[in-house]
Chain A
């Protein structure tokens, strides 16, 4: 698999406070990378750097070997909150992206987009009867399903999900995790998933990055970068838990 994203020597400072320092990560095409760490360790900042919603103080973020500016249609985004436009129905939310690119006034085009949107709606486990509802008439899980459909219809090269399931109940969360695994297996796109839930990071990821601060005043670094094989054993969980809890790069892990 070829390299898609390269983060090299990235540092981020807010008002002289270091958030990230010395981040060097390379992400290959088709990987599902989960990023975990404690609250405030800079997980979302790292995601926003790739998204283009933030610029590093030092270092570079390259996608396909080029520096990309502001967010664009190549990078899909599913945040934890405010993921849908409240003034549009489910169907209009999903067709928003395709409509942006074409002359939406032409009926035929509009019809095609709507049909495509309905396919994505079904793919994410929603019913056609939900198509004309407004976001506030949907549950949290349904809203996130729509947000995923909204992002997927654009066929982005990278899907960036920022704590996308953290507000969901455990059962819905499990359903959504399965959905993401299935979609990833089917579409083979590159996904970067930020979470503070270690079990979720291990279940979802083909690779797990743990961010953390070795010293309180320093910015966060990558403490752990593990490729996860199909077999997920307890030792791996312990290793990641130790990295998150103790903020240390190398830990003695019980056998």
Chain B
């Protein structure tokens, strides 16, 4: 029995079968359940069958939102899915841009003891606040427009990124900093040209690992108060039991996240060829 042997060697075909098995099993189970439910009730919407799903995909990918008066024309770039993706994408990009100051703050906290002392305790406290619990406060303070949703993401994710950058900065060996000074670098040169450059691949990894959290807060904001966006659509369709569109939407979001993650991974490898992931 080699299942629980730590030195088991796996050949390529076995590795391929093992890694795809759960996908195949999941899809098979889904269609088995769907077929069973449709035998009992041909109008079942909870677990849509293949024809219902293809109808939902075609509606989402090719048709404009019927309720949207401004939407004109057909095709993917006028479709409900595309307009929702653009709306969510804009919020996502804003949130990602706002992570840059978080990285800079974490770096400065790690490098400059006064800055670290000033912010650390507060950020540690701030990190413990559940972002969703302050959602009403955000809606009161920033209104129900875009700002509140972006602030929700910022409050939810930035403390983690700040603390991660702080720890990564502290993890740079002291020898490297001393060496920088002996080579004529000043404080900011050491901070940006030695330390930031060294922690950057790990910072990108940290942001990558937090992508799901970014999306989680984005979806929470969109589901509660929004007129467009992927999560808004999912919340809206839930009321009509539109599972045949919700499922493609969920898979689309997963695909987008996977692509963003992949892009960041490839960019990280290209930008930092010296970096070896643990």
What residues of chain A have their CB less than 8 Å away from a CB belonging to chain B? 51, 53, 70-73, 75-77, 79, 81-83, 85-88, 96-97, 100-101, 134-136, 150-151, 154, 156
Contacts and interface: CB of A to CB of B under 8 A. Distances in A.
A75 B176 contact: no
Interface in B126-162: none
Contacts of A82: 173, 175-176, 179
Nearest to B186: A100
A86 B274 contact: yes
A134 to B, nearest CB: 4
B113 interface: no
A72 B198 CA distance: 21
B176 A101 contact: no
B182 interface: yes
B168 to A, nearest CB: 13
Given A134-B273, A136-B274, A51 B178 contact: yes
Contacts of A75: 182
Contacts of B197: 85, 87
Nearest to B176: A82
B182 A85 contact: no
Nearest to B201: A87
Interface string B175-209: 11011011111000100001001100000000000
A100 B185 contact: yes
B36 to A, nearest CB: 56
Contacts of B121: none
B270 interface: no
B272 interface: yes
B201 to A, nearest CB: 9
Nearest to A51: B178
Contact of A51 (B182, B184, B185, B273): B182
A22 to B, nearest CB: 26
Given A97-B184, A100-B184, A77 B179 contact: yes
B276 interface: yes
A243 to B, nearest CB: 29
Nearest to B181: A71
Interface residues of B, number: 20
B178 A83 contact: no
B176 A81 contact: no
Contacts of B182: 51, 71-73, 75-77, 151, 154, 156
Contacts of B174: 53
Interface in B253-278: 272-276
B189 to A, nearest CB: 6
A81 B181 contact: no
Nearest to A53: B178
A81 B174 CA distance: 11
A86 B173 contact: no
A52 to B, nearest CB: 8
A100 B189 contact: yes
Most chain A CB within a 10 A radius of its CB, from B174, B182, B184, B197: B182
27 contacts: A51-B182, A53-B178, A71-B178, A71-B181, A75-B182, A76-B182, A77-B179, A81-B175, A82-B173, A82-B176, A83-B175, A85-B194, A86-B198, A86-B274, A87-B197, A87-B198, A87-B274, A96-B183, A97-B183, A100-B183, A100-B184, A100-B189, A134-B273, A135-B274, A151-B182, A154-B182, A156-B182
A5 to B, nearest CB: 15
Nearest to A77: B182
A135 B274 CA distance: 9
A86 to B, nearest CB: 6
Given A70-B181, A96-B183, A136-B274, A85 B176 contact: yes
A247 to B, nearest CB: 29
